[in-house]
């Protein structure tokens, strides 16, 4: 089972780098109009007063902010959730820094004329492990906050998660259809 997961993560990781290389090639073509070039996602603009329009959902602290609003957390609940989020975010930041180094090493090896396949494989496995650890930390945060929530808040969170999963599935399906149509 563990070997299958490592193989799956390795495959996904390799596909991501192939896609990233294609994106870089696409952006490098000079005759493509600027508005059609693939660009990096920008962070949400700040409103007057310095507040972000929406919390950064990639961070646990951003998730805590979103939960405060959507689940109508009490001040006491929010304080405890925020503490857990900050603790978890510190761990995520450390893992993120490690992941960045792994990706940089992979990119450097990939840029070589004759990359060392052992180093490439090692980087792919390390990246998969690091991503798995980061996903686990996010999952653990969700488990850790459950005892702090009221039953109706837990139900509302389940509904939100279900809607989010449906939205993500729909987005994946649309991307898949667009890709199939482009190939035809």
Q: Report the pLDDT value the prediction gives residue 1, as an integer from 0 to 100.
A: 53
Distance (Å, whole) CA 28 – CA 85: 39
Higher confidence at residue 1 or residue 123? 123
Q: What percent of the chain has pLDDT over 70?
A: 64
Residue 51, domain member (yes or no): no
Q: pTM of the full predicted structure?
A: 0.60
Residue 184, domain member (yes or no): no
Which residues lie below 8 Å from residue 94, measured CB to CB, with a gap of 6+? none
Residue 168, domain member (yes or no): no
Q: Using DSSP, how many helices (H) and how many strands (E) does the chain show?
A: 5, 0
Residue 46, domain member (yes or no): no
- Per-residue tokens: 123: 């980087």
| CA-atom Rg of the chain in angstroms | 20
The total of structural domains in the chain comes to 1
Higher confidence at residue 92 or residue 44? 92
CA atoms within 13 A on the CB side of 168: 6
127: containing domain: 2-27+60-149
Residue 122, domain member (yes or no): yes
The residues that bridge with 46 in the sheet, in sequence order, are 52
Residue 21, domain member (yes or no): yes
| Maximum mean pLDDT: which of 6-10, 12-16, 121-125 | 121-125
Band (156; pLDDT cuts 50, 70, 90)? very high
Q: Report the pLDDT value the prediction gives residue 173, as an integer from 0 to 100.
A: 87
Predicted confidence (pLDDT) per residue in 87-107, tens digit: 999 999 999 999 999 999 999
Residue 40, domain member (yes or no): no
- Range with lowest mean pLDDT among 26-30, 150-154, 172-176: 26-30
Q: Report the pLDDT value the prediction gives residue 56, as an integer from 0 to 100.
A: 58
């Amino acid at each position: 089972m563990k070997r299958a997961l490592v193989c799956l993560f390795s495959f996904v990781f390799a596909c991501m780098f192939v896609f990233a290389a294609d994106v870089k090639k696409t952006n490098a073509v000079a005759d493509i109009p600027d508005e059609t070039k693939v660009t990096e996602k920008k962070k949400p603009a700040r409103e007057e007063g310095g507040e972000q329009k929406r919390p950064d959902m990639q961070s646990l602290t951003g998730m805590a902010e979103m939960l405060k609003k959507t689940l109508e957390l009490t001040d006491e609940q929010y304080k405890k959730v925020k503490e857990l989020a900050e603790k978890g975010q510190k761990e995520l930041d450390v893992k993120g820094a490690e992941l960045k180094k792994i990706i940089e090493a992979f990119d450097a090896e990939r840029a070589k004329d004759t990359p060392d396949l052992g180093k490439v494989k090692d980087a792919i496995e390390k990246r998969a492990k690091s991503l798995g650890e980061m996903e686990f930390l996010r999952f653990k945060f969700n488990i850790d906050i459950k005892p702090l929530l009221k039953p109706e808040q837990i139900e509302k969170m389940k509904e939100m998660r279900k809607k989010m999963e449906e939205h993500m599935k729909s987005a994946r399906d649309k991307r898949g259809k667009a890709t199939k149509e482009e190939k035809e």
